[in-house]
Amino acid sequence: MIERTLEWGEKKDRNKTTQTGWTKIVLFIVEQLREGYQDAIREERRERQKRTVTQLILYQIITTQYMYLYLYLYLYLHLYLYLHLHLYLYLLFVCINIILIDLLTNR
């Protein structure tokens, strides 16, 4: 493949040894470039994983905080409604008792 790509010409007077040497040098350079590229890809994947893990942790923290806020608001609202309902029921009960007592005593 390399021999065909470089198109060694007969006019250059290169013999088989020189051609083999240059082929090895070119293959070595191509291999180094490929390894460098693979190293860069690996480093990029590591960085992406670190970012993903960091984002996941932040997401969990934010989600947990919102969950506690939601739970707090949910309980507060239901407690508020529960207390108001009981207050209204108590007032209704008192009013009914007052009306009944008034009706029974005014006979």
Domain range annotation of the chain: 2-76
pLDDT score for 57? 76
pLDDT score for 91? 86
What lies within 8 Å, CB to CB, of 2 at 6+ separation is 23, 26, 27
Helix (H) or strand (E) holding 8: none
| Residue of higher predicted confidence among 98 and 62 | 98
Phi, psi of 15 (to 5 degrees): -95, 180
* CA 45/CA 52 separation, integer angstroms: 10
pLDDT exceeds 80 at position 100: yes
pLDDT single digits (tens) 1-26: 455 555 656 655 557 777 777 788 88
pLDDT single digits (tens) 13-67: 557 777 777 788 888 888 887 787 788 888 888 887 777 777 777 777 777 777 7
- pTM for this model (two decimals): 0.32
pLDDT score for 46? 84
21, 14, 19, 17: which is closest to 3 by C-alpha?
19
pLDDT score for 12? 58
